[in-house]
Amino acid sequence: MSDKKPISSVNDFVVRFANVNGSGSASANEMFARAILRHGVPVSPRNIFPSNIQGLPTWYEVRVTEAGHLGARGGVDMMVAMNPQTWDKDVAGIEPGGYLFYDSTKPMPSTKFRDDITVIGVPLTAITNSTYTDPRQRQLFKNIIYLGALSALLDMDPKLIEQLIGEQYKGKEKLLSSNVHALHLGRDWALQNLKCPIGLRVKKSDKVGDRIFIEGNSAAALGAVYGGATVCAWYPITPSSSVAEAFTAHCKKYRHDPETGKAKYAIVQGEDELASIGIVIGASWNGARAFTATSGPGISLMTEFIGLSYFAEIPAVIMNIQRAGPSTGMPTRTQQCDIIACAYASHGDTKHVLLFPEDPAEAFEFAAAAFDLAERLQTTIFLMLDLDIGMNHRLSRPLKWDDAKQYDRGKIMTAEMLEEGRDFGRYLDVDGDGIPYRTYPGTHPTKGSYFTRGTSRDRYARYSEEGTVYADNMQRLVRKFETAQDLVPRPLQANAERPTKYGVIYFGSTSPAMDEAIGLLEARGHQLDRLRIRAFPFHSSVASFLAEHDFVYVVEQNRDSQLRQLIVNENGIDPVRLVPIVHYDGTPITARFIAKAIGDHQDHLKVTPLRKAVS
């Protein structure tokens, strides 16, 4: 019997499903999350999955959050324990007063439970086996049956779930009705045999609004479609493969000529990441908008080509869906650990533009913008996503597009301009912004051709090993990078209510956890100004923000506080004033973590002088 009062909460709790991968649970679990959304209650779901196809443990966590906190919360209020393999750990992970939902077909020894939680047993296997004979059906419908039982326990409206089933199996009447039947099998059993609802409840609300539920990788891929990408070359790697797969799906829908049926795009699955980036660079050199999607190990392989893109000034877009490194690392766990690797990728003196979207909506916008930036700056643009944004469904503001927008194809010297007698030097800085003109191959019979090379050359692209010529070019590249500062998305600043000497810098997927942490910190009496960095090179407002605060926390998801290193390095500031707050165990950063880490540091800074304390 519980010696702790059961948790009671409406629209604010965490349910975690523990499953075996390959058991078909993913779609039922996702339906659970979607059903809560249909109640008008925001959710933030996360897949925690192994680098494996069948048989290993997998978890799906749904944070139900009327307040709209989309970061991971930490802790579990209700565990749907469907995996005997992870039972002990799963049961141990439940918050005191929480709930354990399990398949009670086989009796479990009492030692397998806890006294401070509510245990809810539903004989899922027994119900399933008495209804279905086909083994695959038994497995799949078991998932829908527990969904039905949960709907009763959490006081959910079954009509909303039926509606979802209806949408999913539109046109497949047999599947539709059998899924609805399974849903009610579970729901009815719970209503007849259990006390429903429990302390955790879903109540209809209106907090979802017009937001959409989408994975960052799909949004980024659609951004590439809208941004005019015509060539995509990629090599499968978790967690980035779904970018190319989504791009393929979007293109099939939106990029076929209605008359001829022909494709206005080309997608090549390369033999490796070297070929993928090579294809991107060849296509971009020839005037197409091209991109690749990869993750850390792929970036390592691509670095020679990235240096070529920098030095020979060829546009390229690389979407890096970051995962925990180094080496193979934790392929299915999230991190922001390739900041330095991308910012300075390749041998020699190089610097690259990085974009840090915070969510799917920005992933869409920045992906489209990346192609304008790549062609304007004639260099590689990294879109720095991570597994947390890329592979999880996220409640996001709707995607927006301005139909008046034209692509910025950058400085292209055309046949007409050449005919007019314009001086064409491929590496000639005519406008003082460090960006030269380029010609597409095949432009003009006698003018404008040049030889592209990774070796040094003069302003007219003629091979040269002269020191002054080399240095002149390297200096121009610095000027170009300075130009980039004002072209990339600017940092967004949000100030605390009261003036404060303390600031916090964060970026990318840390965003929702940071927003929530600010509230927790304010409750503890800590005021912080916030700066969300959205791109590298850093805009001058980053330096101003640093100058305006005594201490600035830099919150990031890697061990070595890589963004902090980059800020210190690029701004030449005293590192002591930049306090690293790092979370790098592969799980998404939480508000609780940030608030504790910053709060503890703040408390430490505000130590009351001894004399004052004793007086």
Partner 1 sequence: MTYIAKPKFHHPGLKKNELGYTHRDYEGKISTLCAGCGHDSITASIIEACYELSIEPHRVAKISGIGCSSKTPDYFLGNSHGFNSVHGRMPSVLTGANLANRDLIYLGVSGDGDSASIGFGQFAHSIRRGVNMTYIVENNGVYGLTKGQFSATADRGSKSKKGVTNTDNPIDLVAIALQLGATFVARSFSGDKSQLVPLIAAAIGHKGASFIDVISPCIAFNNHAGSTKSFDYVREHNDAVNRLDVLVGRDPIAVDYAPGTVQVVEQHDGSRIALRKIDADYDPHDRLGAMTFLQKHAAKGQIVTGLLYVDPDAEDMHEHLNTVETPLNSLEADSLCPGSAVLDKFNASLR
Q: Which of the residues 208 through 237 are near partner 1 (CB under 8 A)?
A: 208, 210-214, 222, 225-226, 228, 230-231, 233
379 is an interface residue for partner 1 by CB under 8 A: no
| Nearest residue to 240 via CA among 383, 397, 46 | 383
For the bound state, the minimum distance from the C-beta of residue 256 to partner 1, rounded and expressed in Å, comes to: 9
In whole angstroms, what is the distance from residue 277 CA to residue 308 CA? 11
> In terms of CB distance, is 68 or 228 closer to partner 1?
228
264 is an interface residue for partner 1 by CB under 8 A: yes
For the bound state, the minimum distance from the C-beta of residue 244 to partner 1, rounded and expressed in Å, comes to: 14
> In terms of CB distance, is 182 or 281 closer to partner 1?
281
In whole angstroms, what is the distance from residue 333 CA to residue 457 CA? 43
User: How many CB atoms within 10 Å of residue 294?
Assistant: 25
User: How many CB atoms within 10 Å of residue 489?
Assistant: 18
The two structure tokens encoding residue 201: 């409840």
Identified binder of partner 1 from the candidate list 8, 115, 172, 254, rule CB under 8 A: 254
| Nearest residue to 20 via CA among 120, 139, 186, 185 | 139
Burial of 269 (0-12, 13-18, 19+ CB in 10 A): middle
User: Of the ranges 62-70, 271-279, 502-510, 553-561, which one interacts with partner 1 (CB under 8 A)?
Assistant: 271-279
| Nearest residue to 370 via CA among 356, 389, 355, 350 | 355
The C-alpha angle with vertex 301 and arms to 296 and 306, in degrees rounded to 5, equals 95
399 is an interface residue for partner 1 by CB under 8 A: yes
> In terms of CB distance, is 171 or 432 closer to partner 1?
171
> Are the beta carbons of 426 and 460 closer than 8 angstroms?
yes
* Touching partner 1, residues 61-100 (CB under 8 A): none
Instruction: Please identify which residue in the block is written with the tokens 């060539």.
Output: 231
133 is an interface residue for partner 1 by CB under 8 A: no
For the bound state, the minimum distance from the C-beta of residue 254 to partner 1, rounded and expressed in Å, comes to: 4
For the bound state, the minimum distance from the C-beta of residue 160 to partner 1, rounded and expressed in Å, comes to: 13
> In terms of CB distance, is 169 or 440 closer to partner 1?
440
| Nearest residue to 527 via CA among 582, 599, 441, 452 | 599
| Nearest residue to 79 via CA among 107, 111, 103, 115 | 103
* Touching partner 1, residues 304-363 (CB under 8 A): 304-305, 308
User: Of the ranges 72-80, 106-114, 458-466, 605-613, which one interacts with partner 1 (CB under 8 A)?
Assistant: 458-466
Sign of CA dihedral 475, 479, 482, 484: negative
* Touching partner 1, residues 418-457 (CB under 8 A): 439-446, 449-455
In whole angstroms, what is the distance from residue 302 CA to residue 294 CA? 10
β-pair type (290-294, 231-234): parallel
> In terms of CB distance, is 153 or 301 closer to partner 1?
301
In whole angstroms, what is the distance from residue 515 CA to residue 434 CA? 38
> In terms of CB distance, is 94 or 251 closer to partner 1?
251
Identified binder of partner 1 from the candidate list 5, 89, 204, 405, rule CB under 8 A: 405
For the bound state, the minimum distance from the C-beta of residue 186 to partner 1, rounded and expressed in Å, comes to: 26
275 is an interface residue for partner 1 by CB under 8 A: yes
> In terms of CB distance, is 194 or 274 closer to partner 1?
274
Q: How many residues bind partner 1 (CB under 8 A)?
A: 77
> In terms of CB distance, is 462 or 596 closer to partner 1?
462
In whole angstroms, what is the distance from residue 44 CA to residue 66 CA? 10
> Are the beta carbons of 119 and 113 closer than 8 angstroms?
yes
In whole angstroms, what is the distance from residue 506 CA to residue 247 CA? 29
For the bound state, the minimum distance from the C-beta of residue 263 to partner 1, rounded and expressed in Å, comes to: 5
For the bound state, the minimum distance from the C-beta of residue 210 to partner 1, rounded and expressed in Å, comes to: 7
270 is an interface residue for partner 1 by CB under 8 A: yes
* Touching partner 1, residues 486-515 (CB under 8 A): none
For the bound state, the minimum distance from the C-beta of residue 287 to partner 1, rounded and expressed in Å, comes to: 4
Q: Which residues contact 598 (CB under 8 A, 6 or more apart)?
A: 504, 517, 521, 526, 528, 553, 555, 581
- Strand, coil or helix: 492: strand
User: Of the ranges 55-63, 136-144, 157-165, 396-404, which one interacts with partner 1 (CB under 8 A)?
Assistant: 396-404
287 is an interface residue for partner 1 by CB under 8 A: yes
468 is an interface residue for partner 1 by CB under 8 A: no
For the bound state, the minimum distance from the C-beta of residue 208 to partner 1, rounded and expressed in Å, comes to: 8
> In terms of CB distance, is 417 or 573 closer to partner 1?
417
